[in-house]
């Protein structure tokens, strides 16, 4: 039986943040879903080419604009945590429980995609393990033994939100435990103080969480440093033709704002019993890009549009 998201409605606007919150909130209560995050350790293909994580250009956001521009009427959203950022200036425009740790569901796949691109060529072939092919509940539709490129698996992971694709990446590039270690190493290098990974998919686990602030940094980093991942996230659908090593796939983007919100350039929704509905999304108008994150919502796409509208209605004068 599916558990309804916790009915926590935090409406008050917290004090304007500094460039990075120092205090970490307590771990949230989670309800591990069927299947959990565990999977057997799988040895990667001997032909796998693994690179070290690259040097990280740390990205952070400032709360100076928000401190000097008190919000008279905060955006009316259903989510329990949210943040709005003007990407060009790095200024936080709105902040609600944004440093509090929550389960973030499939938004995890932002980091899985970045680490995959960091350590393996996107044209590297990966063999799908039986354990990966059986991952519930959202799937790209992979079969055990199929061979796809890292890029094709990232496409299925980010558009279909395929847990099978995420696990195929984690089990096929390096040992799964090593891949999860790389996720946490990358998070530490990015100074994400309210993030920890226990799996590559986002399935509920008490040791797996993030915050609205940290997720905003992840998406902003993709926008800045990972143009190929950004391009994938901006696609409504992708056709992957059948080859001699795999069948045909048609990943379809689950981010409805790509259709309904003009200027949307990248987004990723997610859901688990513990997290509720979550969303990261970025949109561009003119020379401005606004990024929004909402966690623990019953109407994440509506909240995402509301937060983007708020961001575009509050320009940062420089």
Q: DSSP string of 291-311?
A: EEEEEEES-HHHHHHHHHHHH
Tell me the pLDDT tens digit for each residue of 138-179.
Answer: 999 999 999 999 999 999 999 999 999 999 999 999 999 999
This prediction has a pTM of 0.85
Structure confidence at residue 71 as a pLDDT band (50, 70, 90): confident
Tell me the pLDDT tens digit for each residue of 299-313.
Answer: 999 999 999 999 999
**Within-domain flag for 255:** yes
**Within-domain flag for 164:** yes
CATH number, domain of 138, equals: 3.40.710.10
Q: Which residues are catalytic?
A: 106, 109, 161
Give φ, ψ of 213 to 5 degrees.
-60, -50
**Within-domain flag for 235:** yes
Q: Would you give the distance in Å from CA 10 to the centre of its chain? A: 22
Residue 190 sits in which domain range?
Answer: 100-261
Contact 254, 160 (CB under 8 A): yes
Segment 19-48 shows an average pLDDT of: 36
- Cα within 13 Å of Cα(197), Cβ side: 29
**Within-domain flag for 170:** yes
Going along the chain, which residue ranges are E strands? 81-86, 91-96, 125-127, 147-149, 264-272, 276-285, 288-297
Tell me the pLDDT tens digit for each residue of 172-186.
Answer: 999 999 999 999 999
Domains held by the chain: number: 1
**Within-domain flag for 242:** yes
Structure tokens, 172: 């096929």
**Within-domain flag for 219:** yes
Q: Dihedral of the CA atoms 150, 156, 157, 160 (nearest 10)?
A: 180
């Amino acid at each position: 039986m599916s558990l309804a998201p916790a009915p926590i409605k935090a409406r008050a606007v917290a004090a304007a943040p500094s460039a990075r919150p120092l205090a970490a909130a307590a771990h949230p209560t989670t309800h591990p879903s069927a299947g959990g995050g565990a999977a057997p350790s799988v040895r990667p293909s001997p032909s796998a080419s693994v690179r070290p994580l690259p040097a990280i250009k740390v990205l952070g956001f400032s709360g100076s604009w928000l401190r000097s521009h008190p919000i008279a009427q905060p955006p009316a959203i259903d989510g329990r945590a949210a943040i709005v950022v003007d990407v060009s200036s790095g200024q936080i425009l709105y902040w609600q429980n944004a440093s509090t740790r929550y389960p973030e569901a499939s938004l995890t796949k932002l980091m899985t995609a970045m680490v995959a691109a960091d350590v393996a060529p996107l044209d590297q072939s990966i063999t799908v393990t039986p354990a990966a092919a059986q991952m519930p509940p959202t799937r790209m539709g992979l079969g055990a033994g199929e061979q796809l490129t890292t890029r094709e698996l990232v496409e299925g992971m980010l558009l279909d939100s395929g847990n099978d694709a995420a696990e195929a990446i984690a089990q096929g590039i390096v040992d799964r435990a090593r891949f999860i270690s790389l996720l946490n190493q990358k998070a530490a290098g990015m100074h994400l103080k309210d993030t920890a990974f226990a799996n590559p998919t986002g399935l509920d686990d008490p040791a797996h969480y993030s915050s609205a602030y940290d997720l905003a940094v992840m998406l902003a980093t993709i926008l800045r440093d990972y143009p190929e991942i950004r391009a994938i996230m901006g696609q409504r659908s992708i056709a992957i033709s059948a080859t001699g090593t795999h069948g045909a796939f048609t990943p379809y983007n689950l981010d409805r704002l790509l259709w309904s919100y003009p200027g949307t350039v990248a987004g990723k929704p997610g859901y688990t019993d513990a997290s509720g509905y979550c969303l990261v999304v970025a949109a561009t108008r003119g020379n401005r890009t606004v990024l929004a994150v909402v966690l623990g919502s019953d109407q994440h796409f509506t909240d995402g549009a509301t937060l983007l509208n708020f961001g575009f209605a509050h320009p940062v004068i420089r």
